[in-house]
Homo-oligomer: A and B are copies of this chain.
Amino acid sequence: MHNLSNRLNFSGGPGALPETVLQQVQQAISAVPEVGLSILGISHRSDWFAAVVQELEDNIRTLLGLSKGSHVLFLQGGATQQFSMIPMTLLRGKTSPAEYLHTGYWSGKALAEAKREGPIRVLWSGEANNFDRLPTDAELDYSPDAPYLHYISNETVEGLQFQRVLGRDDVPRVCDMSSDFLSRPCEADRYAMIYAHAQKNIGPAGVTVVLLRDEILKDAPEDMPGFLNYRSHIKAHSIYNTPPVFSIYVVLLVTRWLLNDMGGLGNMAALNSSKAELLYRTLDQSDNFYRGHANIADRSLMNVSFNLPSKDLEQRFLQESAAAGFSGLGGHRSIGGIRASLYNGLTLSAAEELAGFMAEFKKANG
């Protein structure tokens, strides 16, 4: 496997990071320039690390245009922990059901955990259609009484992505943006809560970013375990207990790259669109050799999921692409097929190379 290259890593996550960030991380393993010690041995109680957390928070606010009414937290446990912490905080003791959209594999996971904590109404489900599309506005009959609306902006497995903000302005919106956070502007102030683990677009596994508006905590239970209580983390500026110092530092480097090298999320979104358009065009011009999983209107700019005419051809595609240096192209274990993930760190030239490979492969096998 030694001809693999980070540049051609289309993994669904943990995903590829920008080469310039990897170089800085490598340096930091030996010594963080402004400290002189390995990033792995610097105390989370140091002034330097408090400044890292502050700069990262500021960078995220700047990138998203987020107002001061929202807290920015860095937690552990991934989106999975949020699947539970959210209903523990916002749903326990409530009688009106929270509204959940069931649009794919990951929203199904969120739903299952929420059901343990309180009443849930599934507002819409794509399960009967194998999650091949997202709902239209006309299909969504929101209740004004829901404690909150929960949905996932991008379903990585099926390759479905909302291109609009859902819900009502008078019901708190809670959105799992794990797989498209900081890949594009997102009108962050319209959400009561946004959460995202890092390992798609912004860093390595091990840290989860949570943005939440103060007012949604006003009725939250007080008697929760400290590490499950958002208030503990707010009060401690994300250093309630030892945080994942390394992962947080890498996310800081990625936000610096987004601000300084990429010039912000508008540019990042344009680049991400170009990569996705290139691959979808390859699908659409393949005479049904490459068959996209998602309804065209709901296609994800992050994850291009598709099938080939047979399982044998899919297997050959994976083998030959690996021999050519590509990696991470196997579809999620729940649906199989092929998936090309195009997170922030993946370059346009890498997408072009994959499109080129796909054209050649079709010519040889189509």
- Evaluate contact between A43 and B29: CB separation under 8 angstroms: no
- Tell me the complex Cα distance, A252–B228, Å: 29
Q: Which of chain B's residues have a CB closer than 8 A to the CB of A6?
A: 30-31, 37-38, 41
- Evaluate contact between A43 and B328: CB separation under 8 angstroms: yes
Q: Say if the beta carbon of A226 comes within 8 Å of chain B.
A: yes
Q: Say if the beta carbon of A22 comes within 8 Å of chain B.
A: yes
Q: With A11-B43, A204-B246 as given contacts, are A226 and B80 in contact (CB-CB < 8 Å)?
A: yes
Q: Which of chain B's residues have a CB closer than 8 A to the CB of A25?
A: 29, 40
Q: Say if the beta carbon of A283 comes within 8 Å of chain B.
A: no
- Evaluate contact between A242 and B78: CB separation under 8 angstroms: yes
Contact with B along A197-241 (1 / 0, CB 8 A): 101000111110000000000000001011110000000000011
A:1-51 near B, CB below 8 Å: 1-6, 9, 11-17, 22, 25-26, 29-31, 34-38, 40-45
Copies in the complex: 2
- Tell me the complex Cα distance, A81–B233, Å: 13
- Evaluate contact between A246 and B22: CB separation under 8 angstroms: no
- Evaluate contact between B36 and A29: CB separation under 8 angstroms: no
- Tell me the complex Cα distance, A246–B2, Å: 20
- Evaluate contact between B1 and A36: CB separation under 8 angstroms: yes
Q: Say if the beta carbon of A244 comes within 8 Å of chain B.
A: yes
Q: Say if the beta carbon of A84 comes within 8 Å of chain B.
A: yes
- Evaluate contact between A206 and B244: CB separation under 8 angstroms: yes
Q: Say if the beta carbon of A327 comes within 8 Å of chain B.
A: yes
Q: Which of chain B's residues have a CB closer than 8 A to the CB of A333?
A: 45
Q: Which of chain B's residues have a CB closer than 8 A to the CB of A80?
A: 226-227, 240-241
Q: Say if the beta carbon of A245 comes within 8 Å of chain B.
A: yes
**Closest CB of chain B to A254's CB: distance in Å?**
11
Which A residues have a C-beta under 8 Å from some C-beta of B? Answer: 1-6, 9, 11-17, 22, 25-26, 29-31, 34-38, 40-45, 76-81, 83-84, 88, 112-113, 116, 197, 199, 203-207, 223, 225-228, 240-247, 250, 327-328, 333, 345
Q: List 10 A-B contacts (CB under 8 A).
A: A9-B38, A11-B41, A12-B43, A14-B40, A25-B40, A40-B203, A41-B345, A77-B227, A80-B227, A205-B245
